[in-house]
Structure 1
Amino acid sequence: MLRIMLRHISLLILTLFILSFFSFSLAYLFPGDPLVNLTGIRDSSEQTYALLAQQYAMNDSLFSQYWHYVNNLFSGNWGLSFSSGLPLAEEISRSLAASVELSAYALIISFVIGLPLGFLSGLRHHKFIDYSLLSASVIGYSIPVFWAALIAILLFSVQLGWFPLSGRISLLYDIPYDTGFILIDILLSDVPDKEFAFQDALRHLVLPSVSIAIVTSTIVLRITRRSVVEVMNSEYIQAAYARGLSPRQVFVRHGIKNALIPILPLLVMQFTTLLTNAMIVETIFSWPGIGNGLIQAIYQRDFPAIRAGMLAVSALVLTFTITSDMVIQIFDPARRRPEDATS
């Protein structure tokens, strides 16, 4: 176990170091003067330019500049956004929380839809309902996320008027920031008409989260189906039938638990896919997440926001992936390497 933890932690640190160096290099890869890219000040006097160069350590060696950049990252000084003038650490934390919220709710929807249908398909293996669900999963997996979002807006917002077109909550409500999850923040707040605010936020959340969950639900369905088929055809299941247990008893006592054990780690790993798709959907629904923020930063040539946003997203995805893999290997001996399994 210790060897697994040390290997994953060292991998995480090394990869984060590479990401931070690439993020630091973006100031030189962007077109134009690196100092202008970092400050946004173009027509400055020689004295102002010299003071800014000293502030950002631009006259020092590249190693000193990188060390200065890393120190600023750990101290929370990520710079200022050109468009809003606000600290980037604050803006990115808010937008990243909105993206994680959208991905988390979409993951819950994927479990609610994909797990029952996957069990149903696996239990009706090679029957009409199995083929129907597999066909539906292929269609759902083939639908581009942005196209599904646009169709959802056209049908449920424009035509039927059931859900709002965009945004996170109506402008009528001013919800104080606490956790970054809008539904939780509403419950924790003391705003008037809390119940109506919660319903309004929930209505804003339905279309973007469902649009993201379509593809992931099909993946959950297929993974669950494959696991159920393997478990129900295993020898210990046949032995349970031989002991006189009914199909329902076999499924409840042995089938569900043994089918979920190998697929739960795979399902958790779908969170990074959801986060990537959420960044695409955010621009369509004007969701104030990190994806929408990065697109706006690119349009406005807000180079510090681009650099900080890319680093934040990459670090989050990397940390979640490596940590999930470490936890899976610790608690699931079947996934360990031979040298780890014998230690």
Structure 2
Amino acid sequence: MFAFIARRLGLLIPTFFGVTLLTFALIRMIPGDPVEVMMGERRVDPEMHAQAMERLGLNKPLYAQYFDYIGKLAQGNLGESLRTRTGVWDEFATLFPATLELSLAALLFAGTLGLIAGVIAALKRGSLFDHGVMGISLAGYSMPIFWWGLLLIMFFSVWLGWTPVSGRIDLLYDIPPVTGFMLI
């Protein structure tokens, strides 16, 4: 048991470096200049551009940028958003409760509905209901999740009008945030 845990912990460090190297490389492959993204559509003065490159550390060689990136990650610093100029961790912390609430509600809904439909289909094996549940579950499993998301938004928001098309709540309601969760 100890050998298994030691092997797994031994794989943790190379995995961490592999993921960070892949992330770093993919971010650097994005076309465009990050300083121009920060400044917006205005024409960027070359002197201001150079100062921003210096401040962000983008004038250093790639290996130095990578080691700075690793050092900041090790300290828990996820960086600064280029758009809002606030910390990434702060943005994550404000938006994570909505994600958690949505995923728990979806898990509860899908688990309850799936359990009930599965029990009924098992009790009526070979019936039209059983084949219907099997077909719906196969279609649901086969289609990409983003496509289901678009279809469900169209159905519940546009066609039925039960939910807002975007956002967590309709703009007609103003609920002051207390915990970050809508239900709590």
TM-score (norm 2): 0.71
User: What RMSD over aligned residues (CA atoms) do the two structures have, in Å?
Assistant: 3.2
Q: Which residue of 2 aligns with 1:227?
A: none
Q: Which residue of 2 aligns with 1:213?
A: none
Q: What SS does the corresponding residue of 2:120 show, helix, strand or coil?
A: helix
Specify the code of the residue in structure 2 equivalent to 1:113. L
d(CA) in 1 for partners of 2:139, 2:153: 15
Structure 2: give runs of 5+ residues left out of the alignment. Answer: none
Q: Which residue of 2 aligns with 1:121?
A: 121
Deviation at 1:56, TM superposition (A): 3.2
Q: Which residue of 2 aligns with 1:90?
A: 90
Specify the code of the residue in structure 1 equivalent to 2:25. S
Question: CA, structure 1 residues 81+156, in 2 after alignment: closer, same or farther (shift >3 Å)?
Answer: same
d(CA) in 2 for partners of 1:154, 1:32: 36
Question: CA, structure 1 residues 121+7, in 2 after alignment: closer, same or farther (shift >3 Å)?
Answer: farther
Q: Which residue of 2 aligns with 1:334?
A: none
Determine whether 1:154 maps to 2:155: no
Q: Which residue of 1 aligns with 2:133?
A: 133
Moved more, 166-175 or 49-58: 49-58
d(CA) in 2 for partners of 1:95, 1:118: 34
d(CA) in 2 for partners of 1:97, 1:152: 23
1:141-180 correspondence to structure 2 within 5 Å: 141=141, 144-145=147-148, 146-157=150-161, 162-170=162-170, 171-176=173-178, 178=179, 180=180
Specify the code of the residue in structure 2 equivalent to 1:133. V
Deviation at 1:114, TM superposition (A): 0.8
Deviation at 1:113, TM superposition (A): 0.9
Question: CA, structure 1 residues 39+123, in 2 after alignment: closer, same or farther (shift >3 Å)?
Answer: same
**1:56–1:68 contact (8 Å) kept in structure 2:** no
Q: What SS does the corresponding residue of 1:183 show, helix, strand or coil?
A: coil
Q: What SS does the corresponding residue of 1:181 show, helix, strand or coil?
A: coil
Specify the code of the residue in structure 2 equivalent to 1:169. I
Specify the code of the residue in structure 2 equivalent to 1:122. A
**1:27–1:38 contact (8 Å) kept in structure 2:** no
Higher relative contact order (CA 8 A, sep 6+): 1
1:182-261 correspondence to structure 2 within 5 Å: 182-184=182-184
1:321-332 correspondence to structure 2 within 5 Å: none
d(CA) in 2 for partners of 1:37, 1:24: 19
Deviation at 1:134, TM superposition (A): 1.8
Deviations 1:186-235 (A, max 9, x none): xxxxxxxxxxxxxxxxxxxxxxxxxxxxxxxxxxxxxxxxxxxxxxxxxx
d(CA) in 2 for partners of 1:71, 1:142: 41
TM-score (norm 1): 0.42
Q: What SS does the corresponding residue of 1:113 show, helix, strand or coil?
A: helix
Structure 1: give runs of 5+ residues left out of the alignment. Answer: 185-343
Q: Which residue of 1 aligns with 2:23?
A: 23
d(CA) in 2 for partners of 1:93, 1:87: 10
Q: Which residue of 2 aligns with 1:238?
A: none
**1:117–1:133 contact (8 Å) kept in structure 2:** yes
Q: Which residue of 2 aligns with 1:36?
A: 35
Question: CA, structure 1 residues 165+63, in 2 after alignment: closer, same or farther (shift >3 Å)?
Answer: closer
Q: What SS does the corresponding residue of 1:81 show, helix, strand or coil?
A: coil
d(CA) in 2 for partners of 1:40, 1:11: 41
Specify the code of the residue in structure 1 equivalent to 2:174. L
d(CA) in 2 for partners of 1:182, 1:9: 38
d(CA) in 1 for partners of 2:123, 2:77: 52
1:52-131 correspondence to structure 2 within 5 Å: 52-73=52-73, 74-82=75-83, 84-131=84-131
- The size of the alignment, in residue pairs, is 175
d(CA) in 2 for partners of 1:7, 1:76: 28
Deviation at 1:98, TM superposition (A): 2.0
Deviation at 1:150, TM superposition (A): 0.4
Deviation at 1:72, TM superposition (A): 2.7
Question: CA, structure 1 residues 150+12, in 2 after alignment: closer, same or farther (shift >3 Å)?
Answer: farther
d(CA) in 2 for partners of 1:183, 1:91: 20
